[in-house]
Amino acid sequence: MEKDKIRKAAILNLGCKVNKYEADAMKDKLLMAGYEVVEPQEKADIYIVNTCSVTNMAQKKSRQMLRRAKKMNPEAVVVAAGCYVNAEHDALLNELFVDIVVGNNCKKYIVTVIEDFLKKRSADSRYLDINRTQEFEEMGSLRAFHMDHTRAYIKIQDGCNQFCSYCIIPYTRGRVRSRRPEYILEEIRGLAKQGVKEFVLTGIHISSYGTDWKDGNMQYDDVTSGQENGQMVLPKRQGVTGLSDLIREITAIPEVVRIRLGSLEPRIVTEEFLTELEKNDKFCPHFHLSLQSACNATLKRMNRKYTIEEFMEICGRIRAHFERPAITTDVIVGFPGETEEEFGMTLANLRELALYEIHVFKYSVRTGTVAAKLPNQVSEEVKGMRSDILLRLTAQQKEAYERSMKGYVDEALFEEVSANEEMLAQCAEVTRPEEVDTGDVLSSLLHREETYYIGHTRRYVKVKLLAEDSMINRVVKVKFM
């Protein structure tokens, strides 16, 4: 590579929404340092693979991506970043297809570590023992110029203290670490002023936000408004102790239109929590509650901290506070020791719960977890059959929920244009309420030269709307047909 030429960098991102946020932050840092960031399939001088290690298969895919990057350009610098590094640091550093390894809580150094490598051209590592750090990795505020301007995922915490028996994440992400509220608020404020309408609060375990603050209260008496020595000084914030307080502070930002929450642990959904959310007209009533199994015996082996009876009570509580809330969940089938009777119990309880959507996963052995050593591992054939049963159930329940919305008026944020028939078939059809009121539905449907806009309602129902004017990044009232 020539010394003074603009270097091209590509980021290949795998895994969760937290990884997506961190990939965007690394992209920001590279752009600010003068790099040209290109698409992953393009030839680049630097490839950063932001890896995932949640399952053996995810780790295998991460490894394949690293190999592919080096194959695309043998002269390129290949960087392995993220969870795979924390799971297999020494082994990765010795691989010929990896030049640099950057672990979690070290991605903020991405530019420095690349520049250092380019100077000395020898394998390099930026890594720490993630289980010993108490620092939240602050990567600076994201900027919207290279992002989707409609919705932004905002990382508010990292790490997990739950130690579910099937999960490697506490070992690759470390203990709970909460992001300082003033940084979250400043990032959201900046993105909102650039036109981002919806903010999704994400993290490894957002229900634990604030629980790592020893005094139980964060005060900001040392922070004042305005400029000081040429640096922006953030406004004073007091009394943020947990997720509810943070949501309240975000709501106070005038430019924020919608607030959505990532995955929640069921037990955070108390009467007090719901009462606060119910009063918030910016909150989107979509609750993704992590369930994993609807059978108590299986939940116990998973080391989950609730019973199915508690979960069902919580769902009832949500429905008492919100009109037509969308409740979604994750379920693992074929967990070690799951008998036909246990699966039958899960199936019966899920039928009774009538959730909007179930994300179904076949249990995958993850080396290094307690569950990997449990007896009575379930065969792949049985996992496949149970997965198919739950996929049929969730398709039926999703259809029933969307059918129940007929005639209901909600708000939708539109994100893209599409003529793809497969994508459109997955969307519920909506129209503008005024069109319904004036009897123009038939006219609207006949004018197929109009464009279909795709978006999501407050309840995260994916919808399509025929319109002549651009709907992109607009929040409008729609009526389900």
Which amino acid is present at 135? E
Give 418-443 pLDDT, tens digit per residue: 989 999 999 999 999 876 444 444 44
Q: What share of the chain is helix, strand, coil (3-state, %, to 5)?
A: 35, 25, 40
> Where are the chain's structural domains?
8-126, 144-218+240-404, 409-480
At residue 238, the pLDDT reads 54
Give 99-152 pLDDT, tens digit per residue: 999 999 999 999 999 999 999 877 678 988 999 999 999 999 988 665 667 999
Beta strands in 382-461 (DSSP E): 409-417, 428-431, 451-457
**Half-sphere exposure of residue 231, counting CA atoms within 13 Å on the CB side?**
5
Measured from the Cβ of residue 7, the count of other Cβ atoms closer than 10 Å reads 18
CA dist 293 and 336 (Å) reads 12
343: Cβ–Cβ under 8 A, 6 or more apart, which residues?
A: 295, 333, 386
CA dist 321 and 18 (Å) reads 29
Q: Is the pTM of this model over 0.85?
A: yes
Mean pLDDT per segment of 10 residues, for the chain of length 481 residues? 77 96 95 95 97 94 97 96 95 93 96 93 83 93 74 96 97 96 96 95 97 60 40 52 96 97 96 97 97 98 97 98 98 98 98 98 95 97 98 98 96 94 94 63 51 96 94 95 94
Q: In terms of Cα–Cα distance, which of 18, 87, 13, 12 is closest to 53?
A: 87
Task: Give me the count of residues in the chain.
Answer: 481
DSSP-assigned states of every residue in 76-119: SEEEEEEHHHHHSHHHHHT-TT-SEEE-TT-GGGHHHHHHHHHH
**Domain at 144-218+240-404, CATH from 3.40.50.1440, 3.40.50.720, 3.90.226.10, 3.80.30.20:** 3.80.30.20
275 backbone dihedrals φ, ψ, rounded to 5°: -60, -40
CA dist 280 and 261 (Å) reads 13
CA dist 283 and 124 (Å) reads 44
* Superfamily covering domain 8-126: Methylthiotransferase, N-terminal domain (3.40.50.12160)
Measured from the Cβ of residue 131, the count of other Cβ atoms closer than 10 Å reads 13
